Amino acid sequence: MLNRLLTLILKELRLSLRDPQSRRILILPVILQLAVFPFAATLEVKNSTLAILNQDQGAASRELVHRLAIARAFPTLLTVSSQAQLTRAIDEQRALLAIEFPADFSRELAASRPAPLLAIADGRRSNSAQIALGYAEAIVQTYADELGAARGVVPASRIVVRNAYNPNLDYQWFMLPVLVAVITTIGSLIVTALSIAREREQGTFDQLLVSPLTPGLIMVGKTVPAILIALAQATIIALAAVFIYRVPLLGSVPLLYACMTCYALSLAGFGLFISSLCQTQQQAFLGVFTFTVPAITLSGFVAPVENMPPLFRGIAWVDPLSHFIVIVKGIFLKGYDVALVWPDLWPLMLTAGVTMSAAYWMFRRRIA
């Protein structure tokens, strides 16, 4: 029986890797996402344009304009001469942020009086604008503190921020562990979703049913190759993250692979369920797409799960990706051990048991 099961597993691996189209589906997403996502999918604000309306032209305003100009977020400075031009720069999206210096700015600072600035952010790009505004506020606050220290004025209490687990706020440290989860999702779902549908499309499904293997062993033979391929894809991403992008891996490697296996198993159940419902590979692809987009949206990768309505938070709890993202980021950046992983690991194991059971039931029902 073990030899028969091994033969089926090897056959599935050969079928998945022999076809050029299947190879492209399994290999190209890994390469493209590894090359593109760490640089393109970022919330950092760089290479933005800052519009300046300086009605003061005093020493303090010139110094602040200089400090804003050398900031990495604002390599392009757009100087305007009127409020109409300032408004037009925002309206035409030629500037992400605009700052207006009033005519008495330097004089008020020299007299140790408050000197407010007007900042206009492009609300159509709210996230980037808020981040850019935070950069500008930090520059202005630093300059105000230096002026106060030079005059012997003790600054008011301030919150000192220290970024735990990612001190430099390197967005690649966040993106690449998440990419391990996303790639594992694609590998597990595609291989399992195409497996039974491919057998039906090629006319070999009946031959598989009359083989000495039971339906349960057939499902095992369809599941193991998907898990192996998903682990291989995730390994490529993890190695690139550690050795190319220098993302720290503080946790246990065996624990990471154990969690990846549980996660791939839970996704394999979804993939086999989809495959049992589909007659063709095209239908299976559509089923994978229908599952993957909501799964990523509700996982916490796009927006925090805590910000979602209660109904969607409940759906997100069933989403395996929402748990695995927490696990993989925790193992990479926080050095999670088994005790810290367990609150998110047992839902994966429960999901794997439920989805595999549902897929087995559907498979038996469709062949009855």
- 123 DSSP 8-state letter: G
Sketch the domain layout of the chain as residue ranges: 2-41+170-367, 49-150
Name the CATH code of domain 49-150 (choices 3.30.450.20, 3.40.1710.10, 3.30.70.141, 3.30.70.3270): 3.40.1710.10
| R_g of the chain computed on alpha carbons | 28
Paired strand residues for 97: 50, 121
What DSSP line would sit under 285-335, residue for residue?
A: HHHHHHHHHHHHHTTTSSS-GGGS-HHHHHHHHH-HHHHHHHHHHIIIII-
Which ranges constitute the DSSP H helices of the chain? Answer: 2-18, 20-40, 59-69, 83-91, 105-110, 126-150, 171-202, 205-209, 215-243, 253-277, 281-297, 310-318, 320-329, 338-367
Residue 144 has pLDDT above 90, yes or no: no
Mean pLDDT score, 262-285: 85
> What pLDDT digit, counting tens, does each position of 157-179 carry?
666 777 888 887 787 888 888 88
35 CA to centre of own chain: 14
Beta strands 76-80 and 118-121 are unpaired
Distance CA 47, CA 44 (A): 10
Cβ atoms within 10 A of the Cβ of 350, count?
Answer: 13
117 residue type, one letter: L
pLDDT > 70 in the chain, percent:
93
The confidence score (pLDDT) of residue 257 equals 93
The confidence score (pLDDT) of residue 43 equals 65
| Three-class DSSP category at 99 | strand
Query: For residue 275, which of 317, 225, 325 has the smallest C-alpha distance?
Result: 225
The confidence score (pLDDT) of residue 2 equals 73
| Three-class DSSP category at 74 | coil
> What pLDDT digit, counting tens, does each position of 309-336 carry?
889 888 889 899 999 999 999 999 999 9
Residue 40 has pLDDT above 70, yes or no: no
Mean pLDDT score, 223-237: 87
pTM: 0.80
The confidence score (pLDDT) of residue 341 equals 94
The confidence score (pLDDT) of residue 367 equals 66
Mean pLDDT score, 296-300: 87
Query: For residue 352, which of 326, 318, 328 has the smallest C-alpha distance?
Result: 318
Query: Residues 244, 247, 248, 252: is their CA dihedral positive or negative?
Result: negative
Indicate the pLDDT class of residue 153, thresholds 50, 70 and 90.
low
